[in-house]
Each structure stands twice: as C-alpha cells, then as structure tokens.
C-alpha cells in the first residue's frame, strides 16, 4: 500500500498524466492514462526498460473505462518482490 501511495504521488507530477485511484483507498493496483501517449506505447517503453506493467482494455475493465470515456488504461500492480528502485 505504501509503495502504491508513493508511486501515485510520483505519477501525479507527470504532465498530462491522470492517475485514477484514490490514494486513501486500499487498492492492489494503480491505473492511469496520459493525454498524448497511448497505453500500449507506455507499456512498450516500460517493457524496454525492464518494467512490467500492463494495458487494460474494455475486455477487462469495461465499466470503469466506459464510465470515464476511455478504451484502454495502464495498470501498475507492484508485487512483494518489487523494490523502490523498480
């Protein structure tokens, strides 16, 4: 939970990036989108740098995405072995 709070705080500082999770909620993942860079491009760039994240489309989060007028978002889910450096 603390790692997600720090990640969310850091992501909130990125221009044109919207973080969707409530930092006070007890969530296991964080979702976001960038106004100009596609979810797939973000995931591809992170993968090229050894960071495993996923893009989630309507097949997995239809209600969440449709409510926001989106078709795809980026989802980050740190695991027990994830370090702050990651």
Q: What are phi and psi of 20, to 5 degrees?
A: -95, -20
Reported pTM:
0.79
- Domain annotation covers residue 44: yes
Task: Look at residue 81 and tell me if it is in a domain.
Answer: no
Residues 31-78 pLDDT 10s: 899 999 999 999 999 889 888 889 999 898 888 889 888 899 998 887
Does residue 43 lie in a domain region? yes
Instruction: Classify residue 42: in a domain, yes or no.
Output: yes
Asked whether residue 7 is assigned to any structural domain, the reply reads yes
Say yes or no to pLDDT of 86 above 80: no
Which has more pLDDT, 61 or 19? 19
pLDDT (mean) for 25-31: 75
Q: How far apart are CA 27 and CA 70, in angstroms?
A: 20
Q: How many CA atoms lie within 13 A of 81 on its CB side?
A: 2
Whether 30 maps to a domain, the answer reads yes
**Domain residues for 30?**
2-76
CATH number at residue 30: 3.90.1150.10
- Number of structural domains (the chain) is 1
6 compared with 36, residue with greater pLDDT:
36
**Residue 84 forms part of a structural domain:** no
């Amino acid at each position: 939970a603390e790692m997600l709070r720090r990640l969310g705080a850091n992501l909130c500082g990125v221009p044109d990036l919207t973080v969707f999770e409530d930092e006070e909620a007890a969530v296991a993942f964080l979702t976001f989108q960038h106004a100009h860079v596609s979810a797939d491009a973000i995931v591809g760039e992170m993968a090229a740098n050894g960071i495993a994240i996923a893009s989630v489309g309507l097949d997995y989060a239809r209600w969440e995405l449709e409510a926001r007028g989106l078709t795809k978002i980026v989802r980050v889910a740190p695991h027990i072995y994830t370090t702050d450096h990651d």
